Chains A and B, each alone.
Chain A
């Protein structure tokens, strides 16, 4: 039943694409298409949740499509159901947001047809149960999102972004292709059931892990495969950016989990070291990149990289525990990772919605040209603030819960027998803590520079509150942040079947615990109660406010700012995004980005202004991608001379080929 619902939702979404082409020019198109997308996604989300909660046998279905003698297999097991719920939820909210946001689209025909197709692609990836369907859906998802990235193709950057994106995407797909080639074997057992049955040799498994890391990692944005992400995500329209950053990266995570935890059989302990290492580096690098940005959407995109790193840390821990058959800790780590998947999809989408609202209100993405928007967009400011607190992993919101669980998993890792992990895991813990702290800094900057202070440009002054649809979507996700933060046990228990199916154990049931608090292992060991913390804070704050206003004073006068006596009216004297990041840049940047500051201070009599120039280099780009591009260009130039030979020289090519082959034959006999 659920399967039928899910598949028909996909079919409907696919059917919307041609419809969008047909009616794209009419005014009704935007609300119609996006409204339909929202409803459909909501339905499939409900279906997924139903499967997840019902448990029992996973619904399956086979259609006579795809590879003829195999057909297209579909299956919704617990894992698929969870990710389907995440995808569909994000899609529903994004569609709702787009009902309002899409009106400002100047070329709707470049967005409307691809958007439902993109949603359908993401749904299909999660539903697929054989290699062909999976990869086809995977690449289809990349393709449609590429089309969406190219929607505003007039900007040169976007063309470059689209190019890098699609090339990286298909590189990833090809490496997944190889991975499935190994999994399926030479005579093509492409159905996941067969793959599970067959167990590849140790060397092959390691190879598959590597390929899966490259394939899924390039889509999820693991360092150093992340370069496309900060280019492509901001280039797309904001609701698409939200989907790409909040949901599509999760689909990539799903691909990794599906291959490594489900299809690949029992893991080797050192795999986890690879995954943990990459995850740790990714999380710190990602947030450092983000801190250096002053383009709001690009900052958010880079920060996605950080969260992906956190998720992979959780997955790596789960691998480590699973490899040593410590089922309970594995369940804890996996749940932490997956819970962060859900949380991140919620608040990252929320933040991108906010960025979109700011973009439509002011036409600016550059934080250096914004400021003071809290006065003109109070509601947007509020939800954006909620998102910032949540993503900075601060209680009582949801971001903290998943990171807290990850820390608990890390604290269990001394039980691991292997020495490599004993040394690595604490370092990873430090990296995780560092990235969490830096994330807070990053979002103080994002919110403070954009919404607080004084407007830096007339555009920022003209900003108006955004439309009700967008606000509805944002408030919905903000509320979800609070619910997931204060009542996490609901989601943890919902994840239990997933953990059960992947690592053979589940976290202890949380719903029974007194006062609805979360107890990962044992109460004496650690527990957290978001609800109480939230209530305490609320009560304490209210109490203080009440008491003070009653007993002391509640009077208030307005006056010009004090600013140590000499306030400067010009808004340019405020701290800008770059200057805010300057201390951290001085601490980390000089190492990570080869950051250099050139100060040009004119002599006293000289009237020209002093200039401070900051130079940041992206080492990953310089070390990995530039050389490759150079090599290809070089080879292309060299070989291109062959285009300009004379006929005689071509003939001599043929001639030598003939002679060589004859020699081969002569020698071979």
Chain B
């Protein structure tokens, strides 16, 4: 069985990108965009059933299959959302058709890059893919060409490229470490080979490599203090891109980190990556929670909440162990779904209100019940309240941590509570109270938002056994 499925999830976006770059008219292109992402999703689903053999470049295993399906799914729903969102942008004249063409093409390129990063079996290839993803998102963040957008894109670009450079250095170091054991050539960069031989690598070199990889890919993940690009990029870019950034790109970067964590975990003498991850995770969590209190821009606020949750996830993987890893994976999945749903809501809300300032929004549950309650549900989910999925992951994480590292767990709980306080404060102001701001009725497609929320709700109550089995395998893999 050759890698048809794996090829497909790469080929479809590329073709679509080429097509979309030339086709005019936003209705048709938007539909084409949807269709392409749908096909990609189907291809990804096919991977569940027929799994190609790992080759020197491509690999599909338990770890990344989850990510691939998640990515393609969110990509699809986002494209549905984007269709209705972009339509409004065209009408309001924030985007010109030519830029729209560019936007759709870039969207597909981004999909291609992320899928490539996920299925890449070659650490160099993975690096290239993530770099490509960064560049495309940079261009899309700057697409509105307002002062703020450009500034955000510029900041993102500089910080991102520095991060990516560090990551490359780390990759080279890994190769150097593999060199004496595996010998020159391609094999020394193939992950499946590396992981089998990693036990005999030079541990010291691995450590330095991991430092660079942590900082490099950590920048993409948005861990504090490397997070600076993230809030602005989320706030200033088009909302679908914010959704994709928070929901997917962060995960992809984190996925890269996980690959290398496994590599280190195999080597007995290497420094345990756990403590580093835990520390950065806690810093991000608490820092972001404090930052939440002074936010006035709705999208920027949820960007910070993404940092917070990335911190929690990093913490979980840093703690390790079957429970914590399971919690981490679950939290990552739930966070992608929930956060993108929230951005869908936030996007429509800011379109209706004509602003992103939360001070100009209020009483949404009165003026726009569906949007308002959707936002409430989303925030409730992201805050980790039952019966939604994130509650389960936080439950598993906190309970399993406290018995092992009471102090860490207390810090974790402190951070979570802090962030919750801030989110709830804003939610109360935006969703309840006297209606404020414009009250034009929203021309929005609620399907993507509520699909995500429904899935999160489902997961909070009942996790299907196959999914559980996957997560448990991966959790074992992560050690």
Contacts and interface: CB of A to CB of B under 8 A. Distances in A.
Chains A and B share a contact (CB less than 8 Å): yes
A181 B434 contact: no
Contacts of A669: 204, 207
A575 B383 CA distance: 49
Contacts of B418: 632
Contacts of A180: 399
B398 A181 contact: yes
Interface in A124-178: 131-132, 135-137, 139-140, 143, 150, 153-154, 156, 159, 162-163, 166-167, 170-171, 174-175, 177-178
Q: Kindly name the residue among B155, B159, B294, B403 whose own CB sees the greatest number of chain A CB atoms within 10 A.
A: B403
Interface stretch (B118-126, B443-451, B461-469): B461-469
A360 B192 CA distance: 72
B461 A163 contact: no
A287 to B, nearest CB: 31
B159 A651 contact: yes
Contact of A178 (B409, B421, B434): B409
A645 B392 CA distance: 37
A658 B215 contact: yes
B413 A174 contact: yes
Interface string A456-483: 0000000000000000000000000000
B387 interface: yes
A181 B403 contact: yes
Contacts of B398: 174, 177-178, 181
B225 A661 contact: no
Q: Kindly name the residue among B155, B159, B228 whose own CB sees the greatest number of chain A CB atoms within 10 A.
A: B228
Interface stretch (B29-37, B88-96, B425-433): B425-433
A524 interface: no
Given A139-B386, A154-B434, A178-B409, A653 B294 contact: no
B225 A636 contact: no
A186 B399 CA distance: 7
B293 interface: yes
B81 interface: no
A645 B228 contact: yes
Contact of B399 (A136, A167, A177): A177
A65 interface: yes
Interface stretch (A66-74, A383-391, A504-512, A614-622): A66-74
Interface string A647-663: 10011011001100110
A188 B327 CA distance: 12
Contacts of A643: 231, 291, 294
A186 B428 CA distance: 37
B201 to A, nearest CB: 15
Nearest to A158: B432
Given A136-B386, A170-B420, A635 B290 contact: yes
Given A654-B226, A668-B271, A639 B287 contact: yes
A593 B226 CA distance: 49
A185 interface: yes
Interface size class of B (residues with CB under 8 A): 35 or more
Contacts of A153: 363, 365, 432-433
A669 B206 CA distance: 12
Contacts of A187: 322-323, 400
A657 B225 contact: yes
Given A163-B424, A186-B404, A136 B387 contact: yes
A62 to B, nearest CB: 14
B403 A636 contact: no
A178 B405 CA distance: 11
Given A159-B432, A163-B424, A640-B294, A178 B400 contact: no
A633 B413 CA distance: 19
Contacts of A64: 462
Given A632-B421, A650-B228, A186 B211 contact: no
A182 interface: yes
Nearest to A187: B323
Nearest to B405: A186
A186 B406 CA distance: 11
A665 interface: yes
A642 interface: yes
Contacts of A137: 386
A65 B468 CA distance: 12
B416 interface: yes
Interface in A26-84: 64-69
Contact of B420 (A167, A177, A637): A167
A211 to B, nearest CB: 9
B427 to A, nearest CB: 9
B473 to A, nearest CB: 13
B16 to A, nearest CB: 34
B463 A68 contact: yes
Contact of A654 (B219, B287, B365): B219
Contacts of B420: 167, 170
B158 interface: yes
Contacts of B323: 186-188
B73 interface: no
Nearest to B472: A69
Q: Kindly name the residue among A139, A174, A642 whose own CB sees the greatest number of chain B CB atoms within 10 A.
A: A174
A184 interface: yes
Nearest to B322: A187
Contacts of B460: 136
A190 B424 contact: no
Contacts of B387: 136, 140
Contact of A657 (B226, B365, B409): B226
B403 A185 contact: yes
A635 B212 CA distance: 31
A635 B421 CA distance: 14
Contacts of A163: 424-425, 428
B392 A132 contact: yes
Contacts of B229: 650
Contacts of A185: 403
Interface string B206-227: 0110011011000100000110
A67 B432 CA distance: 33
Contacts of B281: none
Contacts of B425: 163
B399 A654 contact: no
Nearest to A169: B385
Contact of B208 (A143, A182, A665): A665
B162 interface: yes
A154 B163 CA distance: 48
Interface in A383-412: none
Nearest to A155: B433
A140 B399 contact: no
Given A64-B462, A136-B386, A171-B417, A177 B428 contact: no
A66 to B, nearest CB: 7
A636 B271 contact: no
Contacts of B394: 177
B468 A68 contact: yes
6 contacts: A64-B462, A143-B386, A167-B417, A174-B417, A177-B398, A182-B403
Interface of A: 64-69, 131-132, 135-137, 139-140, 143, 150, 153-154, 156, 159, 162-163, 166-167, 170-171, 174-175, 177-178, 180-182, 184-188, 190, 632-633, 635-637, 639-640, 642-643, 645, 647, 650-651, 653-654, 657-658, 661-662, 665, 668-669
Given A139-B391, A159-B433, A657-B215, 15 more contacts: A68-B465, A143-B386, A150-B432, A170-B385, A177-B398, A181-B403, A181-B409, A187-B322, A640-B291, A647-B154, A651-B162, A654-B162, A658-B215, A662-B211, A665-B271
Interface of B: 154-155, 158-159, 162-163, 166, 204, 207-208, 211-212, 214-215, 219, 225-226, 228-229, 231, 271, 276, 287, 290-291, 293-294, 321-323, 363, 365, 380, 383, 385-387, 391-392, 394-396, 398-404, 409-410, 413, 416-418, 420-421, 424-425, 428-429, 432-434, 460-463, 465, 468
Query: Which 10 A-B pairs give the minimum distances between C-beta atoms?
Result: A181-B402, A181-B399, A636-B293, A650-B228, A153-B432, A136-B386, A186-B403, A68-B468, A640-B294, A653-B225
